[in-house]
Amino acid sequence: MLTKIVRCYWHLCLFRTSPENTPYSFFLMVLTGFLFFILIVFQWQFAAAKPIFSPLITILAGVSLLLSYLIYTYILLKLFSFPKRLVQTITSLWATHFMIHIFAIPLLILMPFLAKTNMQNPFVLLLGTVYLFATVGLSVWQFMITAHIYRHSLNISTMQSLLASVGLLALNILTVSLWR
């Protein structure tokens, strides 16, 4: 059962399916939200040599990030008269973003090493270049998945879904930066 669910969201990451083909489950939405929350809090604490936020602020920033996903998506769905699609859309967003963030863990492990080394070494320079391309690649992939999910959930054009994704990205950046 679990592998079937993971495969369903993995196919969404690969643009082989759409949110309407994912399970409608409030429990699954809460579970993916919790897993995504745990992962981003871990990544925020792990990413910095010295933590940017205190543990309490990190938790509050994580909760507010999840709420920003929820509120922004609900407003979009309400504007386009599809509020009943909220559970599948949010679950799809959180599950796919969780998967992308899993791929980012090796980059987070590599980051402190790259920050402390001299980039004159050709191997380190190559590693830094791979790190940069992987980071950009994962970011673009996550952005495109978000646009794909919004395009199908809202029944809008690709350009409109890209704009909706920009809106979510901007809101998420603003939400997290408020806690600094």
Q: Are 73 and 89 spatial neighbours (Cβ–Cβ below 8 Å)? A: yes
d(CA 150, CA 73): 9
Q: Residue 37: which region, alpha, beta or left (left: phi > 0; alpha: psi -120 to 50)?
A: alpha
Res 45: pLDDT: 83
| Cβ neighbours for 143, distance < 8 A, ≥ 6 positions apart | 165, 169
pLDDT tens readout for residues 13-68 = 999 999 999 999 999 999 999 999 999 999 988 776 566 668 899 999 999 999 99
Res 36: pLDDT: 98
The whole model's pTM is what? Answer: 0.93
CA angle 84, 155, 3 (to 5 degrees): 65
Q: Where are the domains of the chain?
A: 2-177
**Average pLDDT in the 122-129 region?**
87
Q: Mean pLDDT of all residues in the chain? A: 93
